[in-house]
């Protein structure tokens, strides 16, 4: 089975001093696709340091390490046999990339960071007639098949935490990567505790299927729009059409927007 793809990304429509902290990358030869959403600082901090983003640095570190781990493994050993072993390869690649973030976060103390630079998202790898994925955070995966829409990936409870009015430091120490807390959520930031929030699994793929990998800025659109419309649109067209959710009553959800569309041939 062969795969084609399309991708597009645009920055936040309402904060002109914040760079696009979404990110996508891919290894076309090995059919690996990555979509990431860097964790945004409070908007007031972009007034102090406009166009700078620690999350953008983390995005690039994480993506490069995931792709290099998978590529080196495949060159040495070839593709593992069996779904369980392919899932294990993907999990090891993601954990290796997460650990690699430590080299950047150590340039400052937690007191200086407040909340360690971090990202979240989905790493997807297509092997023959299966989609393998590792998901952490609020990235959204959608499988479009005939007239059905299947949502996959693991979303976290960050929206609930946002209502508590806690500081960045409290957020890190009480909720982030702390599975003992009922409102815990996970991000890739170098912590060992990410495994509790990481979902690694696979889905069988058939000819004619379309897979969407989206950041949360596209979440409402890919959830609410009809599947046949999504199938017919390019990545750019989907982002442009999603603007209907950037107006009241959805104005608070304007965000960076990124989507990868992969379809079978």
Mean pLDDT of 181-188: 86
Q: What are 34's strand-pairing partners?
A: 25, 123
How sure is the predictor about 185, in pLDDT bands with cuts at 50, 70 and 90?
Answer: confident
With a CB cutoff of 8 Å and minimum separation 6, the contacts of 163 are: none
Distance separating alpha carbons of residues 198 and 194, to the nearest angstrom: 6
Note the pLDDT tens digit of each residue in 86-116.
Answer: 999 999 999 999 999 999 998 888 888 877 8
Residue 158: predicted pLDDT:
65
Strand (E) or helix (H) holding 97? helix 83-100
The mean of the pLDDT values for the chain is 89
Structural domain spans, the chain: 3-264
Min mean pLDDT across 79-93, 162-176, 200-214 is at: 162-176
Identify which has the larger pLDDT, 168 or 133.
133
Domain at 3-264: CATH code: 3.60.40.10
Residue 157: predicted pLDDT:
62
Distance separating alpha carbons of residues 45 and 114, to the nearest angstrom: 12
Note the pLDDT tens digit of each residue in 119-139.
Answer: 999 999 999 999 999 999 889
pTM value is 0.93
Mean pLDDT of 24-30: 97
14 pLDDT higher than 90: no
255 pLDDT higher than 80: yes
DSSP string of 229-248? HHHHS-HHHHHHHGGGGSST
Q: What are 152's strand-pairing partners?
A: 141
Note the pLDDT tens digit of each residue in 218-245.
Answer: 998 999 999 999 999 999 999 999 998 8
The DSSP output letter for 176 is B
Note the pLDDT tens digit of each residue in 33-81.
Answer: 999 999 876 666 767 777 778 899 999 999 999 999 999 999 999 999 9
Strand (E) or helix (H) holding 71? helix 54-77
Mean pLDDT of 150-154: 88
Residue 89: predicted pLDDT:
98
């Amino acid at each position: 089975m062969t795969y084609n793809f399309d991708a597009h990304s645009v920055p936040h429509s309402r904060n002109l001093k914040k760079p696009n902290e979404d990110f996508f990358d891919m290894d076309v030869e090995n059919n690996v696709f990555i979509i990431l959403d860097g964790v945004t600082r409070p908007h007031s901090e972009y007034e102090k340091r406009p166009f700078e983003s620690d999350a953008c640095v983390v995005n690039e570190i994480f993506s490069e390490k995931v792709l290099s781990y998978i590529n080196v493994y495949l060159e040495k050993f070839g593709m593992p046999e069996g779904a369980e072993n392919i899932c294990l390869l993907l999990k090891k690649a993601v954990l290796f990339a997460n650990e690699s973030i430590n080299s950047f976060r150590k340039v400052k103390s937690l007191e200086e960071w407040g909340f360690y630079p971090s990202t979240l998202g989905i790493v997807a790898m297509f092997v023959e007639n299966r989609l393998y994925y590792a998901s952490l955070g609020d990235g959204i995966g959608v499988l479009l098949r005939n007239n059905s829409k299947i949502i996959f990936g693991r979303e976290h409870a960050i929206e609930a935490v946002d209502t508590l009015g806690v500081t960045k430091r409290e957020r890190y120490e009480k909720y982030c990567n702390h599975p003992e807390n009922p409102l815990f959520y996970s991000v890739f930031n170098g912590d060992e505790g990410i495994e509790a929030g990481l979902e690694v699994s696979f889905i069988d793929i058939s000819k004619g299927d379309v897979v969407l990998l989206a950041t949360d800025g596209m979440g409402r659109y890919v959830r609410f729009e009809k599947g046949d419309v999504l199938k017919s649109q390019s990545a750019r067209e989907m982002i442009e059409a999603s603007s209907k959710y950037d107006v009241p009553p959805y104005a608070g959800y304007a965000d960076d927007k990124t989507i990868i569309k992969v379809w079978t041939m």
